[in-house]
Amino acid sequence: MKEELFVSGRDIPNIDPYLNIWHWQIPGYLYLGGLAAGILFFAALYTILNKEKEMQATVKWASFIPPIALVVGLFFLFLDLKHKPFFWQLYTTIRLESPMSWGAWVLMAITPLSFIWAGSYLREAWPKWDWKFKFLYDFEAWVQRNRYWFAWPILFLSVILGIYTGILLSAFNARPLWNTSILGPLFLTSGMSTGVAAILLLTKDKTERHRLTVIDLILIGIEVFLIIHLIMGFRASTAVQIEASRLFLGGQFTVVFWTFVFTLGLIFPAILEVLELRGYHLPAYIPAILVLFGGLVFRFIMVEAGQITRYLY
């Protein structure tokens, strides 16, 4: 009989050498959080710029997505928790150095704001809606008068929310693939791009579609730039980071990443959007769906791949 004995202090199930704790709930939540942040950002931005009339889908109709996305996303997070009854303890402390604390508090602030924002447009979308109580009608009227002042905090909080979806991973410095400050801006840009794509699915207005398409193209450009820098940064770093980047350069995530995220989720929709801007007739929902799908796959890959990268070999 051939017997091998391993003695190691590094065999910790589900943590070392490979992390195996985050499953579909986390990328699903990061995706929905980014999507909500993107939609809220542009809704707030165009309200502040006083362009509600030209950008109706952005400001009004898409605003019904973030509350749902945030609640579903938070439910995903809740499902991921090991000790579910203790989730509220996140709200017993404020830790400025912890991204999780930032995220918890930002969500605490932006989720109700997103409900109020969408609620203030509810009767425009469903005129038969009845608030039942007079104070709710008064509150609605007050929000409608003060939308500008709601827009500013939403604008700031949505940026923090968008960045946080990336920082949550990059603060995890025991995993080389995540431990890069590019993830914050990259997830923010990707979230904004998916947000714009979701609005593009709803808009029927030509001017709005044109403007959003240009914005989406710019965002895709920034995203491509950040992805290239992410990989170049890894390549120019230490051996563990080079090893992490290999997952995308020949390793097991190469095909999925370059096909679904980079080509079909960024480059191809960008080409279609350029054609659309040049006057070619295209079904506008195709690039939007591709961007939405690419963003989803991107988060799944980043969470999955990050967990199997490690410092010690």
Partner 1 sequence: MSTQDRSKQYMNPYLAGVLLGLVLLLTFYITGRGLGASGAVKSSVVAAVDAVSHSHATGSKYYSQFISDDNHPLNSWLVFEVLGVFAGAFLSGALAGRLKLKVEHSPKISSRTRLIFAGLGGLFFGLGSQFARGCTSGAALSGMAVLSLGGFLAMIFIFGTGYVVAYFFRKLWI
Residues that bind partner 1 (CB under 8 A): 255, 259, 263-264, 268, 271-272, 275, 280-283, 286
DSSP string, 5-58: ----S--BTTTBSS-----THHHHHHHHHHHHHHHHHHHHHHHHTT-TTT-HHH
CB of 298 to partner 1, least distance (A): 17
H/E element holding 294? helix 285-308
Q: Which is nearer to partner 1, 116 or 264 (CB)?
A: 264
Question: How many other CB atoms sit within 10 Å of the CB of residue 225?
Answer: 13
Please tell me whether residue 68 adopts helix, strand or coil conformation.
Answer: helix
Residue 190 in tokens: 């990707």
Q: Which is nearer to partner 1, 147 or 209 (CB)?
A: 209
Sign of torsion over alpha carbons 244, 245, 247, 253? positive
Residue 13 in tokens: 């199930």
Q: Which is nearer to partner 1, 127 or 250 (CB)?
A: 250
CB of 125 to partner 1, least distance (A): 29
CB of 285 to partner 1, least distance (A): 12
CB of 63 to partner 1, least distance (A): 31
Q: Which is nearer to partner 1, 136 or 255 (CB)?
A: 255
Q: Which is nearer to partner 1, 9 or 250 (CB)?
A: 250
CB of 220 to partner 1, least distance (A): 16
